[in-house]
A and B are shown apart, each in its own frame.
Chain A
Amino acid sequence: MMIISLLSDICLLLGGILTLTGALGLLRLPSFYTRLHAASVTESLGAPLLIIGIILDTGFTLDSAKLIIIIIIMVVSSPTITHALCRAAAHGGYTPDMQNKEKSQTQTDTCAKESK
């Protein structure tokens, strides 16, 4: 069916763009907590959109059921992992900077080393 194929292509393209955005944010954002925000784009919408694109392409088979289970597991586990990372950072003494004093990459890496 043409429309399902078109929808699948759109989902795959959007998923790719979102994943690229997440990767760009991971490289360019200044501090650890902001970088975690960027990474969460990939895990909450980027990867599920890619998998939905594949599901639309595969049709109504057992493989699609397995892929839906994978989406559910990913959407549940990835934010939990982000939460665990934030707790570990806070436990190590690196708290988020609420006054927006950190401006550049080099400053934040020094902050991370000092607070260890």
Chain B
Amino acid sequence: MNRAGRYARWAAIALVIVGSLFPFLWMLSVSLKRQVDIFGGPSLPKQPTLSNYTALFTQYHFGAYLVNSILIVGASVLASLLIGTPAAYALARFRLPRGLNGQALFAALLVRMVPPILLVVPFYIILAKFGLLNTRLGLILLYTGINTSFVIWIMQSFLAEIPTDIEDAALVDGDSRLSALRRIILPLASSGLAATAIFAVITTYNDFLIALTMTSTPAAQTVPVGISTLIGKIQVEWGPMAAGGIIGALPILIFAFIVQRHFVRGMTLGAVK
């Protein structure tokens, strides 16, 4: 490429990055402004303040939202890994009768692909039936199920990449299937497991619709729902809302950066590697 072309390309890339990141910086700037400055037109914060952040915790229950989010995300991701990984292993290593492997994988994919809006009405009816509305347990159960399908699908593709020879050697040496799985396969699949776990954490932490419909008080509401409560019908708490947005975005951006290499795979359900 000639010199002008190279400059043009870097200019285009710079423009894209600004377009991509500026909205975040605008939110950060609003979150650091005093109430009077928010209405003062676009400018940097004149006297940067953390008062919006402290208000989140003293007035708007963000401590409770964070605790709920962490407990719900942690429990449901852990449970789905424990349930999904063995199933993924079975699908990657054994040929089941009647082409069941393909069907099972397709079923797992289907659950993941159905937009959550389609599931909320039945979910609501079921949780209401068992008295689990507005409880952490109710949300943990729903997310565990949704994540399990994802774990099966992604872990299956990671496990299928591990050569069978290694496992065969262990079996010849007298290991049972289970101990070969524990001693040989899981350590080899650990980076895949970590990536899968982080994807599950991201999607669960980010979910809004299910948490919104199944909860009604800070006893079980999660961070995204908490952010939306700052948007009243009449008045919007701009400063705290921006600060809440930052709190909602920051952990996820950090996580996403860590698993960047695997990101396409997670986001495309393993279809693209």
A and B from one complex: no
